[in-house]
Structure formats: structure tokens, C-alpha cells
Amino acid sequence: MSQESLSPSRLANYATCPRLYDYRYVQDVNAPDRTELYLNQGTIYHETIEDVCKATNRGDDPEVIHERAMRIFDAKWDEHSTPDDYESAAHQEYQRAENRAAIESFFAPDGGVGIDHARCSIATECWVECEVDGRGLHGKADNVIRTDDGLHIFDYKRKTHGMLSDGTAEYLGDHLDGEAHEPKRVRNAFQTAAYIEGVKNEPFYEDGMEIRFSFYGLLNSTSFESTPTGYDVSARGWGRETTEIYEDHYDTIWALIRAAHDGITGETYGPEPFDLISEEACPDCDYREMCADRLATEVRR
């Protein structure tokens, strides 16, 4: 049995740099303040989708679902959007228009995929847990919908650019071998594994069900058009399914999980391979100015 159940986020922090994990989670060092803007916006669209799904019945008319979504979005924006997060009132208003356009597109009554996501939803913000090879994982799935063949799990994101794809899945093995540094795509693999395996332990799962997992970027594409009275913002989203990647790279993904999980539970925080981590991870790290590992290399130079 595993001694500790870990989230994909924690595993991914360790995969980025073990010392980063040490500072953030073990020593609980306060990182420099960063804007809450995108965190708040994420809360807004996540809670909007969640509330729409909970309020929707399978037979609800698309127009009803759309109107419900826009009403809920407006309320969530007022609740969570803070003027201090923005450079100006105009900046806040533009961001509101952009995010509202994303929700409007997602729940568009004439083909928005969010209509079926709401109608077929059986669980939102669903806490899942699993254990494979003695390593425990847990996470919270944004939405689980019932399909004709089983279940489809969705994780809603702002964008899916740069995420794990068929064309980049081979980099997972390179990360495992220390030949590349791909923590973001490794994190996507960790999330896929945790949700696909975790949902199998839920009461609504039945043996033989097909389990699929996708990320869905609500703001993958946006456009801006000036009008005589101001401007119009439009947005379009689409999904990126990683089910087949998980199946095709199962052994590599679980080797990555074991390496990160064992490093965390074994309290091994030395960054290896250091040259690769220092080149790829250090420049954007919140703790770079205090990191003894990085500073030691600067002294030697």
C-alpha cells in the first residue's frame, strides 16, 4: 500500500524540479506574489460550467441552457472578478468580454459542445482516487459525462496550446530518460492517468465501460473586431483527447509516476539531471534567487 496519495499537480511540480517541490510543499516557502487574474477567471468559468451542469436536465432546450449559462456567468464574474487584478477598468471589461464570449460559444444553442456536456453530465468537481503499483493518486475531475459507450471525463482549461498530443507523446520517454525536460506534457500524462484510473472506483462506473479523457480549451482561439460603438470579441474552444496516448504510452507514463512518487515519498529533492533542469526550469522559477543548487553553480562560474 502507498503511504501517501498524491495529486498530478504535486507530481508535476516534482517532475519540473525536485528542489522546487521541496521549497513549495515541504518547506512551504512563500513565493513572490503573482497576479490572481487568471486564477480568478479560471474559478469563474469552472463554477459557471459546474452550476450549469447541475441545473440542467437531459431534455432541456438548448436555448434554455444557453440563457442559464450566460446568467450564471454574469453572476460569477461579479462575485470573483476584482478590479485590483487589472491594469484599468477597460482591461477588466475586455477580459470580461473575452471570457463571456468563451462561455457563449461553449453553450451556443446551435452547436456548442457545452450543451451535451451539461445534458449528459453525471458528476462535476468529482473527487477521484486510485492506486496502481502501490502508488496512490487523487484529483478532482471537472466534469464526467455519460456517453453511449461509457464515460468521458473533461478537464476545462483556458487553452490547450503546448499540451500533450499525438505528435509530442514521444517526449515523455525522453523526459523519463533525462534527455529532455517536458514537465507540462508530463503533467498532462499524470492527469490523464489519475482521472482514467480514478473514475473506475466511482459508483457510477460499470465493468466494461469505455473510459475517455479530454482537456478542453475554452479560449483556444479569440478574435477582436472594432465596431462603431466599441468592439466585439469572439472565442472558440476545442478539446484535446489523450485517451489513446495513455493507452499507447502506459508503461512510460507509469514509470514517470513511479519516479516522481517515489522521489517525493522518499524525500529525494536533489535536482537531477541538474544541467537540463537548470537550463529549462530555473529561468522561470519563483525560487531561483534563493535556490542553493542554482546559486552554487553561479559561484563556481
Q: Tens digits of per-residue pLDDT, 118-157?
A: 999 999 999 999 999 899 999 999 999 999 999 999 999 9
Q: What whole-number distance in Å separates Cα of residue 265 and Cα of residue 282?
A: 23
Residue 209 has pLDDT above 70, yes or no: yes
Q: What whole-number distance in Å separates Cα of residue 34 and Cα of residue 29?
A: 14
The pTM (predicted TM-score) of the whole model is 0.92
Q: What whole-number distance in Å separates Cα of residue 289 and Cα of residue 54?
A: 45
Domains in the chain, CATH or no CATH each: 30-177+185-250 (3.90.320)
Residue count (the chain): 301
Tell me how far CA of residue 47 lies from CA of 153, 170, 256, in angstroms.
17, 34, 32
Cell of 232: 466585439
| Range 50-55 contact pairs with CB under 8 angstroms and sequence separation of 24 or more | 50/124, 50/125, 50/142, 50/143, 51/76, 52/107, 52/114, 52/118, 53/117, 53/118, 53/121, 53/124, 53/143, 54/121, 54/124
- The confidence band for 103, taking pLDDT boundaries of 50, 70 and 90, is very high
CA dihedral angle for residue 244, residue 250, residue 256, residue 258, rounded to 10 degrees: 140
Q: Tens digits of per-residue pLDDT, 211-222?
A: 999 999 999 999
Q: For the chain, give the percent of residues with pLDDT over 70.
A: 95
Q: Tens digits of per-residue pLDDT, 24-80?
A: 999 988 765 555 677 888 999 999 999 999 999 999 999 999 999 999 999 999 999
- Position 28 scores a pLDDT of 85
Q: For the chain, give the percent of residues with pLDDT over 90.
A: 79
Q: At what angle do helices 183-199 and 8-16 cross, to 10 degrees?
A: 160
Residue 299 has pLDDT above 50, yes or no: no
- Nearest CA to 245 out of 157, 132, 168 is that of 168
CB 15 within 8 A of CB 73: no
Amino acid 155 reads: D
